[in-house]
A and B are shown apart, each in its own frame.
Chain A
């Protein structure tokens, strides 16, 4: 029995999975079933009462999904994971454990446009208020803290501009405020950044992106770092107080350092319902097996493309943290030394119209609203993902009208550069 830490690639292939108990199948089977039989009435009661490990109903848990959950928890260095239907579902389920009407979450202004919408409109309708802060000015997070603050939410690498967030500095603000730091690690993946090592208490993913990696399945993951003490005051009753839905169980007292993941499952997923299909879990798991290989290729290609664009006469600016001249280059060297990710933006001298033309002239890049695919993708955020923001908010979130966003795939970089070159000349 060895007692050494397996490397990232070993965990990406093995963590959470083992040959199937009944058939010996080596690949994780797709347990495409809604429900699981009980051995007897006592077994059923134990499962419903959270007293036994096991499966009841796929909205609450599923063996295929469980492999994915443990795999991502292991890759992130957390205590437990929970798979849900999408990245947005992960954000919803996480905040439901923390927020009551009138509570506040402080969120980085640089977020995926869909998340800005979710926080601004959908969450607002629940009475969950958001205070926006500037991830480039940590003091704005400090200033936003009030007695109603329940959490801080940031992206490790921010969509769309690929800017790198100073996670440790913001984690210090969260610690001082006594609230958990939630990090959306979608664009970095744990291959590039492990937010828990930098002070995150909860990590969320849109597994739709690099984890799945092939643009074929939606999914979301929540990872519990096991670092936050939910019972030190009465701020988080979902975790610290007796739960009437479970005859008075206290979640943290019972589940210790993976209590948050359990709360998300048995109070969030069970009652809100955004379960992940086991088929999608299987697709995402298969994707994760090659995450380290793909992610490195994504980064290496992205750097080559960013270098090409920054020397191009039609381009006015390239925002890629992997370029030595970039304002985020120091943070990239600290947090993501293996690479700056594959999603970044650049601006065209020809402004909005040149952006629209570029998108239509590209032959290899797909024009669509996703990132983190094997294929290279392009989009004009101002008219799509970020279109619901006003112009000032667009600029603040890194999606000004002349900006084009790329998500660089794992094709041959020479072909990507040639395609961009012909489209910029056309």
Chain B
């Protein structure tokens, strides 16, 4: 699996298939990126579970925080890890002890741990690194186009009017990633030199 640049179909198939997402490192502070992503994904109809031992007893968008993945107590489709690269491995190891196993490990924008990715893939999980599911969902649905972002997708179909809790179609024609090759290349060079 090439983790420097993902095919849109790979990201699309993940976002179209998962229903429940446990967010490790979710923050109740409303200026943190994890809060942004949690709120957006909840609004797009995902079943969100905030995981953060520091906030047990509180809720995020009405969902109670749990201390660890093991405390969720029901099957989870995807683990979205909002932690620095150096804190990824223990979370992946914990995820691999769950039964049934989650289907996807997603590491946030800026987070990458190739060894942890390999471990998860060896167990049959799909892995995404250094991406934000909110940005990817917004891009593939073109909702992010409101901000002038290059969604790298085209469609001649009428755009949906997003409402609360509505899932959007992600089935637009993709450019295949080629158009932001420059940005993907820069990200790759950064991982190689750091």
Seen from chain A, the residues whose Cβ lies within 8 Å of a Cβ on chain B are 1-6, 10-11, 14-16, 18-22, 24, 39, 46, 49-55, 61, 63, 65-67, 69-70, 73-74, 77-83, 196-197, 225-229, 246-249, 253-258, 261-262, 265
Contacts and interface: CB of A to CB of B under 8 A. Distances in A.
B112 to A, nearest CB: 13
B183 A226 contact: yes
Given A77-B182, A253-B33, A70 B161 contact: no
A261 B149 contact: yes
Report the contact-size class of chain B (Cβ under 8 Å from the partner).
35 or more
Contact of B36 (A51, A227, A258): A51
Contact of B182 (A11, A80, A225): A225
Interface stretch (B47-55, B116-124, B135-143): B135-143
A81 B148 contact: yes
Q: Which 7 A-B pairs have the closest CB atoms?
A: A69-B148, A226-B183, A227-B186, A73-B150, A5-B178, A3-B176, A21-B159
B31 A225 contact: no
Contacts of A67: 145
Contacts of B185: 227
Which residue of A3, A14, A39, A265 has the most chain B CB atoms within 10 A of its CB atom?
A3
B151 to A, nearest CB: 7
A19 B154 CA distance: 11
B23 interface: no
Given A46-B39, A229-B186, A74 B31 contact: no
B1 interface: no
Contacts of A65: 148
B110 interface: yes
Nearest to A200: B182
A254 B159 contact: no
Contact of B149 (A5, A20, A83, A258): A258
Contacts of A16: 145, 151
Contacts of B145: 16, 66-67, 70
27 contacts: A1-B12, A2-B176, A3-B7, A3-B8, A4-B175, A24-B158, A51-B30, A51-B40, A53-B147, A61-B148, A66-B147, A70-B148, A70-B149, A73-B149, A79-B150, A82-B148, A196-B182, A197-B182, A225-B182, A226-B180, A226-B182, A226-B186, A227-B182, A229-B186, A229-B190, A246-B31, A256-B109
A256 B39 CA distance: 18
Contacts of A254: 33, 36
Nearest to B12: A1
Given A1-B174, A74-B150, A249-B31, A21 B156 contact: no
B161 A21 contact: yes
Interface centre among A247, A248, A257 (most CB of B within 10 A): A257
Nearest to B179: A77
Contact of A265 (B147, B155, B174, B176): B147
B35 A51 contact: yes
A21 B31 contact: no
Nearest to A10: B154
B98 to A, nearest CB: 28
A24 B161 CA distance: 12
Contacts of A261: 147-149
A257 B145 CA distance: 15
B175 A5 contact: yes
B64 to A, nearest CB: 20
A74 B148 contact: no
B2 to A, nearest CB: 14
Contacts of A2: 173-174, 176
Nearest to A259: B109
Contact of A61 (B33, B138, B147, B157): B147
Contacts of B143: 53
Contacts of B157: 18-19
Scoring B8, B164, B179, B181 by chain A CB atoms within 10 A of each residue's CB, the highest score goes to: B179
A66 B148 contact: yes
B99 interface: no
Of B151, B157, B183, B186, which is in contact with the most chain A CB atoms at under 10 Å from its CB?
B183
